[in-house]
Amino acid sequence: MFEDTHIYDYGAENAYVELAANVFSLLSDPTRLRIILTLKEGEQPVGMIAEKLGRKPTIISQHLAKMRWGKLVRTRQEGTRIFYSLSDEHVSALVDQAIFQSEHIVDAEPAHHATVPKGQGQEGPGRTTRYDEELLQEERVRHD
């Protein structure tokens, strides 16, 4: 996908604010967040998503329809099966950031702030590790 390379400073009167509120509204349901986390693994049909989440396919389909309307997911048809995937990297990033913020609410030292020496970390969804030696050094200096 396209990776953003610029930081934009949108003003409070930006025309996209209303649409952004709609995106947050669509993401305000725990099942939809779990669907997004499941789709981070890659494209999947409704039945597989429902099985992973322990929900009925009809319920998952209803959520996916709303998410498709909001352009959070896209579809690809293969025969009679419809496969769902995330629309772009921003959908995943929004959920990651929301979960990171939630960790701050609960934990004094959130897991995503963990400092792990090079080669000892576990990469993957839900786990952020710092490998950059300069960052490790900065952390040591702050704690001394």
pLDDT at 59: 98
Task: Please tell me the chain's helix, strand, coil percentages from 3-state DSSP, rounded to the nearest 5.
Answer: 50, 10, 40
pLDDT higher than 70, residue 2:
no
Quote the pLDDT of residue 97.
Answer: 92
88: confidence class by pLDDT, cuts 50, 70, 90 = very high
> What's the distance, Cα to Cα, between the start and end of the chain in Å?
41
Q: What is the pLDDT of residue 60?
A: 98
Is the pLDDT at 16 greater than 70, yes or no?
A: yes
Cβ atoms 103, 110 nearer than 8 A: yes
Residues 31 and 63 sit within 8 Å (Cβ to Cβ): yes
In terms of pLDDT, which residue wins out, 112 or 1?
A: 112
Q: Distance of CA 109 to CAs 45, 97, 130, Å?
A: 37, 16, 15
Cα gap 138→57, rounded to integer Å: 48
pTM exceeds 0.85: no
